[in-house]
């Protein structure tokens, strides 16, 4: 018995945490439901008002029937006006679902609906002993508005208390009064049970949607990360060779259409093998990352920087003349020389040789020919003693 009690308690705690997660979503849905529910109820109220007004104007009735007609007309007129006001308010505050109106307005509609159903059932006792309006009100409220189970319990308890008292105002027959009060208990229990079931269904569906949305976001993040990994060099974070070549070709095509010049820098770290042999490959990886950072920070944000492989890097400079490319290359070379790499407390000097070439739109050169010329210029820089910038002949 105690184990079942603890199991029930854990279930209720789970429900409480789940309900707290969907309460905002319920407020959004309820505010939208109030919009169409108020329109439907106001229309029905207006229809009843017209019918009652017609009855009062054309057919004479005894005093009790006349009193019933007048009271019903006034009740429906008041409810209709209240629903119109709620509909206008729900439209006005439709973008404020998570503010207090997103919670207050649906609860106000619930209170009005229950009070109206009690009022009509009480008025009907003058002409009929049934409590159909109260039964309908209990059902409609449970279906139309999402209410948390504990709040729904308070709503139906308060509604029954009001129903119990008010029923004695118009129903003088003790037997019928007892029957109606007992039937009212059944109506409230059924309304509350239906409200709980629909709330749990809403909670389950909404949590599944949240989980699905979270899974989709994770998949999108993983897809973006996969795309980044396939386009980037894993060590330095720069564009890898394939991506750089693709982007460079696109930029050359664009430059030809717009009639602008383009330049490239082909860079190779000096004596990189010596770094690996002296300090090891982890130090070499640190130097490569350092070189990538220095290069990226020394050029414009619109320039493309890639690692072609090993210790070889390339920079594409859109809308840049050969002279501008020489200056940019010299800036990279100076900063590389002035900022040694740091590894395990050691300072590792880094220098770079750079080959420069470029093209104008009229020359219509492709990437392969530019790469070939830049490679020749880089070879010349190596031959001339390294740590220098050399432009390709005829560029």
User: What's the pLDDT tens digit per position in 243-287?
Assistant: 899 999 999 999 988 889 999 999 999 999 999 989 999 999 999
* pLDDT at residue 308 tops 80: yes
Residue corresponding to tokens 């010596």? 274
**Is the pLDDT higher at 193 or at 28?**
193
Query: What count of residues does the chain have?
Result: 395
8 A C-beta contact, residue 35 and residue 94: yes
Lowest mean pLDDT segment, chosen from 2-6, 69-73, 132-136, 300-304: 2-6
What pTM does this model have? 0.63
Annotated catalytic residues are: 311
Q: What's the confidence (pLDDT) of residue 16? A: 80
- Given pLDDT bands bounded at 50, 70 and 90, which one contains residue 167? very high
Collect all residues with Cβ–Cβ distance below 8 Å to 199 and sequence separation of at least 6. Answer: 19, 26, 146, 147, 148, 149, 152
Instruction: Outline where DSSP puts E strands in 212-345.
Output: 262-269, 304-309, 312-318, 341-343
- Distances in whole angstroms, Cα of residue 15 to Cα of each of 37, 95, 148, 157, 194: 28, 28, 10, 21, 17
* pLDDT at residue 223 tops 90: no
8 A C-beta contact, residue 324 and residue 309: no
Q: Average pLDDT, stretch 62-79?
A: 91
Residue 343, phi-psi category: left (phi > 0), alpha (psi -120 to 50), beta (remainder): beta
DSSP 3-state assignment of 274?
helix
Domains of the chain by start residue, with CATH: 2-217 (no CATH), 241-391 (3.30.70.270)
8 A C-beta contact, residue 239 and residue 232: yes
Q: Average pLDDT, stretch 137-159?
A: 94
| DSSP structure class, residue 345 | T
Alpha carbon distance 286, 176 (integer Å) = 91
Q: What percent of the chain has pLDDT over 70?
A: 93
Q: What's the confidence (pLDDT) of residue 102? A: 73
């Amino acid at each position: 018995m105690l184990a079942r009690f603890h199991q029930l308690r854990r279930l209720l705690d789970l429900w409480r945490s789940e309900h707290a997660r969907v309460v905002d979503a319920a407020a959004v849905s309820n505010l939208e439901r109030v919009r169409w529910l108020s329109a439907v109820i106001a229309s029905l109220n207006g229809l009843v008002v017209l019918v009652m007004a017609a009855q009062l104007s054309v057919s004479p009735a005894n005093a009790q029937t006349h009193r019933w007609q007048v009271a019903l007309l006034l009740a429906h007129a008041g409810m209709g006006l209240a629903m119109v006001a709620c509909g206008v308010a729900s439209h006005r505050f439709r973008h404020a679902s998570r503010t207090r109106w997103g919670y207050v307005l649906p609860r106000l509609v619930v209170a009005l609906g229950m009070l109206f159903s009690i009022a009509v059932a009480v008025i009907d006792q003058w002409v009929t002993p049934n409590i159909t309006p109260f039964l309908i009100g209990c059902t409609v409220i449970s279906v139309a508005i999402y209410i948390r189970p504990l709040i729904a319990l308070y709503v139906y308890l308060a509604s029954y208390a009001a129903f119990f008292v008010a029923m004695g105002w118009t129903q003088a027959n003790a037997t019928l009064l007892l029957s109606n009060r007992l039937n009212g208990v059944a109506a409230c229990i059924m309304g509350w049970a239906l409200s709980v079931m629909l709330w749990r269904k809403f909670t389950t569906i909404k949590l599944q949607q949240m989980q699905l949305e979270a899974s989709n976001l994770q998949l999108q993040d993983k897809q973006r990360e996969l795309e980044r990994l396939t386009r980037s060099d894993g060590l330095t974070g720069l564009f890898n060779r394939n991506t750089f070549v693709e982007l460079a070709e696109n930029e050359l095509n664009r430059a030809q259409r717009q009639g602008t010049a383009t330049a490239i820098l082909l860079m190779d770290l000096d004596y990189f093998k010596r770094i690996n042999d002296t300090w090891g490959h982890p130090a070499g990886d640190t130097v490569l990352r350092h070189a990538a950072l220095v290069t990226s920070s020394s050029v414009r944000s619109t320039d493309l920087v890639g690692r072609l492989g090993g210790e070889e890097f390339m920079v594409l400079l859109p809308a840049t003349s050969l002279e501008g490319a020489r200056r940019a290359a010299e800036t990279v070379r100076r900063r590389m020389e002035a900022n040694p790499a740091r590894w395990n407390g050691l300072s590792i000097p880094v220098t770079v040789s750079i080959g420069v070439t470029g093209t104008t739109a009229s020359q219509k050169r492709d990437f392969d020919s530019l790469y070939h010329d830049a490679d020749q210029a880089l070879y010349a820089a190596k031959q001339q003693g390294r740590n220098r910038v050399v432009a390709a002949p005829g560029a």
